[in-house]
Structure 1
Amino acid sequence: MPEVCPPVDDREPAISFKPVKPRAFIPHDPEVWFAALETQFIARNVRTQRSKYVYAVEAIPGERMCAIRDIILKPPEKGAYDVLKAVIRQFYIPSNGQRLRQLLARHPIGDMKRSRHLARLRSLAGPVNTYSDIVKEHWIESWPLQVQPTVTARLEDS
């Protein structure tokens, strides 16, 4: 005689609680951190600005809280999470100019000819920043100090 197994109830329980476990805060890339956090919010059905704010603040280490002190001490009544996100982005994400300077600083002239170095800097800067003042300043700084004023004057004349 075949063995009879009891029926299996494969339905999920009516209430299923999965706690939000935010990853450690990533100060050098808060965009990725927020994306990971928001994925958890979706998976755990966290919808209110206030709840999102609370989870986000809980995940920020104490030594990083000083940077966002004001919003922690006095959170806004409306849109608390969005405001927190904006404040963190403003503090931790460098401006385009700062990013461009950091990128160009990693590429010294070395043995390259000056014209080739300028072409390389423009290439690294991308189409939006090709002729930016930051690229020009970085290129001029690659010249010897005694020549820099002359190069600057020549560029201003042209």
Structure 2
Amino acid sequence: MEDGAQLASEAQQNAEIARVAVKIPPFWRADPALWFKQIESQFVIAGVTQDSTKFHTVVAAMESSVLSKISDIIINTPTSNVYSILKERLISSFSDSEEKRLRRLFSNVEGGDKKPTEILNEMRTLSQGKVSEELLKQLWMQRLPLQVKAILSVSEDNLDKLSVMADKICDTTDVTEMNAYTTQPTLDMQSLEKRIEEL
């Protein structure tokens, strides 16, 4: 009987240690779904499986501006699936709508100092499988430096291989040349329109 009580006590202590071991990073408003993936990996490592433990661990780490979005769940805590309810609410409250994501995909993904593979990853995240690989390839190619686009246009490789190839080309090409992104003509057009207005 004593051994059973000791085992139960040790199990409880281990559970407490596991809870302490989970360190929740600051809430990532830009991508709450990815933030949840990160903390769920920590739950797995720490051996946290209880729904209520996950819920309270997340709530305890939240800043007040985020808590205000889920105050009804905290004040009137559901009796079951509380972690899933919390997760769904936070993702729906902070994630961009599908329309906004697609608008960003088509117009606002900038090349800048990002590697071609980073640009592709960002575009894939925004598309969430709603855009065909062929269209994604065209959109991605538009954001590459002119020299890289010219080299890749003759390749029949898939998008992942093309992005790796583009990284290698960028690594071996002069940085000043890489600044000639295909967005440049748009900037020149704006400059031209401004001059016309001044005239």
TM-score, structure 2 normalization: 0.45
Residue aligning to 1:86:
88
Gaps of 5+ in 1: 1-12, 108-123, 131-158
- Matches of 1:93 and 1:105, distance apart in 2: 18
How far the C-alpha of 1:105 sits from its partner, in A, is 3.9
How far the C-alpha of 1:102 sits from its partner, in A, is 2.6
Match of 1:25 among 7, 24, 27: 27
Structure number with the higher helix fraction is 2
How far the C-alpha of 1:51 sits from its partner, in A, is 0.5
Match of 2:131 among 126, 129, 139: 126
Deviations 1:110-154 (A, max 9, x none): xxxxxxxxxxxxxx98339x7xxxxxxxxxxxxxxxxxxxxxxxx
Deviations 1:70-123 (A, max 9, x none): 11211110000000001011111122112112333427xxxxxxxxxxxxxxxx
Instruction: Supply the AA of the counterpart residue of 1:127.
Output: S
Deviations 1:39-95 (A, max 9, x none): 111111111110000001112111111111211211110000000001011111122
How far the C-alpha of 1:36 sits from its partner, in A, is 1.3
Alignment of 1:9-48 (within 5 A): 16=14, 17-18=17-18, 19=20, 20-48=22-50
Secondary structure in 2 matching 1:126:
coil
- Matches of 1:95 and 1:80, distance apart in 2: 24
Aligned residues: 101
TM-score, structure 1 normalization: 0.56
Compare 13-22 and 35-44 and name the one that shifted more.
13-22
- Matches of 1:79 and 1:39, distance apart in 2: 19
Q: Which runs of 4+ in 1 moved over 4 A?
A: 13-16
- Matches of 1:106 and 1:35, distance apart in 2: 25
Residue aligning to 2:59:
57
Q: Percent identity, aligned pairs only? A: 28
Q: Which has the larger radius of gyration?
A: 1
